[in-house]
Amino acid sequence: MAGLTAHTLTCVKRDRVLFADLSFTLPAGSLTYLRGPNGAGKTSLLRLLTGLSLPDQGEILFNDAPIAECLPQFHASLTYIGHKPGLNSALSAIENLQYWCAQHSIGFSLDTAYKVLTILGLVGLEDIPIRMLSAGQQRRVALARLWLKSADVWILDEPFTALDVNGIKLLETHMRSHVEQGGTVITTSHQALSEVAGPVTLLDLEYRI
């Protein structure tokens, strides 16, 4: 399994320097909890780590290579879940997952999808439009990607939003198990992670004026 290294990253948005000269490593087999107040730049940093946006300075390395030079391999090894569920509200849970798998060249089987939806407590809700699900149920459908794709690196932006106590425990357990198998996880959250998630490395972003 592989980790990520951020090397002297600088990110500027509308003349405000969100962070500068930021370096850190996300080793294989680690869970990093990215903290900071609203507007500090957590989402901006996660998007840099995915390669979806580019830093003003610095670079990100995957397997010691700049991600820009190995984007297809990197993205094949990555699951990114943004702070919005990223679902088509007119499609069902099954249709959304099928579409996502096709987009990411992941083999899809109804059997596997039902198994994952069962783990996530969504049985009976799999074939109605997403817009008819509650916020927490929609979040669970979005998180199903973490069970469907075998990816080394998980980049998760506020994945606990709208989850109930059981949902939080389920996700923390899944994160821990991924890390114990050598996976790399970085996640934001406005609530502290519990001991269920296992050992955590903290990465704090200050709000810079």
Residue numbers 169-188 binding ligand ATP by CB under 6 A = none
Kindly state whether residue 197 participates in binding ligand ATP, applying the rule CB under 6 A: no
Cα-Cα-Cα-Cα dihedral sign, residues 47, 49, 50, 54: positive
In this structure, are residues 46 and 188 in contact, taking their beta carbons and an 8 Å threshold?
Answer: yes
Q: How far is the CB of 21 from ligand ATP (least distance, A)?
A: 17
The residue type found at 131 is: R
User: Which lies closer to ligand ATP via its Cβ, residue 13 or residue 115?
Assistant: 13
User: Which lies closer to ligand ATP via its Cβ, residue 38 or residue 103?
Assistant: 38
Q: Select from 109, 110, 129, 133 the least CA-distant residue to 121.
A: 133
Kindly state whether residue 131 participates in binding ligand ATP, applying the rule CB under 6 A: no
Neighbours of 75 (CB within 10 A): 19
Token pair belonging to 105: 């060249």
In this structure, are residues 55 and 21 in contact, taking their beta carbons and an 8 Å threshold?
Answer: no
Q: How far is the CB of 55 from ligand ATP (least distance, A)?
A: 13
Site track 54-83 with ligand ATP (rule: CB under 6 A), x = hit = ------------------------------
Kindly state whether residue 203 participates in binding ligand ATP, applying the rule CB under 6 A: no
Query: In this chain, which of 2, 4, 6, 18 binds ligand ATP, going by CB under 6 A?
Result: 18
CA 65 to chain centre: 21
